[in-house]
Amino acid sequence: MPELPEVEVVRAGLEHWVCGRTVDEVAVLHPRSVRRHAAGAEDFSMRLQERTITGARRRGKYLWLELDSGDALLAHLGMSGQLLVQPRDRDAERHQRVRIGLGAAERELRFVDQRTFGHLMVDPLIGDARGSSAGVPSVIGHIAPDPLDPAFDDEAFSALLRRKRTELKRALLDQSAISGVGNIYADEALWRARLHWARPTADLRHPQVGELLGHLRDVLREALAAGGTSFDSLYVNVNGESGFFERGLKAYGRRGLPCERCGTPIRRDPFMNRSSYSCPRCQLAPRR
């Protein structure tokens, strides 16, 4: 699943290529890709027609294009979604699901999604109770800011985390508390902070939370600079280019390989139908 860096790379590309453009054509080629737009594909297309794109924003793993109507074109990439900006005369991608013409630019925005777990919808922008000065789509108003968002409140997050009665990694994946952090970057930040994924959140001290947030921000910024993490051809930017951060991973996916700090083989544990990777020596497991 794409995480914050992968989505931010796409957002930045959209900001460059589509802001200021006016939609002159919409084609929904697969209804499942607009299934979250309750009024259906025809209404989806109508609310985009002749609308000018005024901004490209993101919260966690969601991104949206602001429209001059006060609506937003909201996208969630799911497991395999891609938003590509292509010349109109270029051959269609095999799994192209939605096509949006960008006026005189002679380019179009294409939503390509092999597994069709992602989706697009048009949703009204509302005031943001989380502290951002700009509006957010109404359906994601409950999602917390991410650690790179100026609206993110370190003190409030620290207090919330220590009030919870759960495991640390579960709390990091809770989008009502902190958004944009998924399996990969949680494991990487926990490795840097020397904290085990199953550590009870109530046992954390305030300085430990601050240090963990610092490592989260470092990991996310480094991944952004590398264009995100791409384990296969599905994770690309708007130009179809892959990221390279997987080359710098210290924990995730490194089962049996030596920890770069102490040499102990990295351990894999089952976690929420996925996996957690940690160093048994550097990240001591809590006593059960």
Q: Residue 98: helix, strand or coil by DSSP?
A: strand
pTM of the predicted model as reported, rounded to 2 decimal places: 0.84
Instruction: Determine the Cα–Cα distance for residues 207 and 198; give it in Å rounded to an integer.
Output: 18
Q: Place 117 in a pLDDT band, splitting at 50, 70 and 90.
A: very high
Active site residue 61: yes
Active site residue 3: yes
How high is the pLDDT of residue 247?
Answer: 63
Instruction: Determine the Cα–Cα distance for residues 242 and 152; give it in Å rounded to an integer.
Output: 28
Q: What is the dihedral of CA 39, 44, 50, 51, to 10 degrees?
A: 90
User: pLDDT (tens digit, 9 = 90+) per residue, 151-200?
Assistant: 899 999 999 998 999 999 999 999 999 998 989 889 999 999 999 999 99
Contact assessment for residue 76 and residue 119, using Cβ atoms and an 8 Å cutoff: yes
Tokens standing for residue 57: 């924003």
Active site residue 274: yes
pLDDT above 90 covers a percentage of the chain that reads 72
Q: Shortest CA distance to 143 belongs to which of 181, 106, 111, 110?
A: 181
Catalytic residue among 88, 90, 255, 274: 274
Is 250 labelled a binding residue?
no
CA atoms within 13 A on the CB side of 67: 21
Q: Which residues make beta-bridge pairs with 139? A: none
Catalytic residue among 11, 61, 99, 267: 61
Tokens standing for residue 61: 């793993």
Angle between helices 4-18 and 206-225 (to 10 degrees): 50
- Summarize the confidence of residues 213-228 as an average pLDDT: 87
How high is the pLDDT of residue 245?
Answer: 57
